[in-house]
Amino acid sequence: MDNILQKRIEKLVDSDNALRGRPATDNEIKDAEINLNIKFDTQYIDFIKIFGGAFCGIAIHAFDNGDMIGNETVTELTQRFRQYTTNLSDELMNSYVISDDGAGNPILISRTGHVLIYFHDSGETEVLHTTFNDLLNQALS
């Protein structure tokens, strides 16, 4: 994570402890990757190792989230998405849920690092950002 983006996030979350969680450990990351059969994007790993699950204009779930985000881990959100969504493409089966749009549409990171939204009513997917850091920069704007 570049220093400018990190400082912008720190400025927001340092003002309220409920906005940030406990930083993720290497073991938590490894266990989740094994359980979900995916590899987390390096930008997402950088974020959760510094901030845990945190709110920075958008709620980003990890393993130990800030109080304002809720208790659902990235693992639980992804498993629930896979369990209750039918006919998932390979791209979605190899993605993981990090957030939602407030209307119940999951926001995911794909194997290629693209940030996607899955519209549960239509079953359609849209690329929101080409990188996780782009998502963070837009959310902080």
Taking only the tens of pLDDT, the chain with its 141 residues reads: 899 999 999 999 998 989 999 999 999 999 999 999 999 999 999 999 999 999 999 999 999 999 999 999 999 999 999 999 988 999 999 999 999 999 999 999 999 999 999 999 999 999 999 999 999 999 999
Partners of 65 in beta bridges: 53
- Neighbouring residues of 111: CB distance < 8 A, sequence distance ≥ 6: 38, 39, 91, 94, 95
Partners of 109 in beta bridges: 96, 115
Task: Render the chain in DSSP notation, one character per residue.
Answer: --HHHHHHHHHHHTT-GGG--PPPPHHHHHHHHHHHT----HHHHHHHHHHSBEESSSEE--SSB-TTT-S--HHHHHHHHHHH--S--HHHHT-EEEEE-SSS-EEEE-TTS-EEEEETTTTEEEEEESSHHHHHHHHT-
Indicate the domain borders of the chain: 3-139
pTM over 0.85: yes
Strands 96-100 and 59-60: unpaired
CATH topology of domain 3-139: SMI1/KNR4-like (3.40.1580)
- At 17, phi and psi to the nearest 5? -60, -20
Provide the token pair at 121.
């009513």
pLDDT at position 52 is: 98
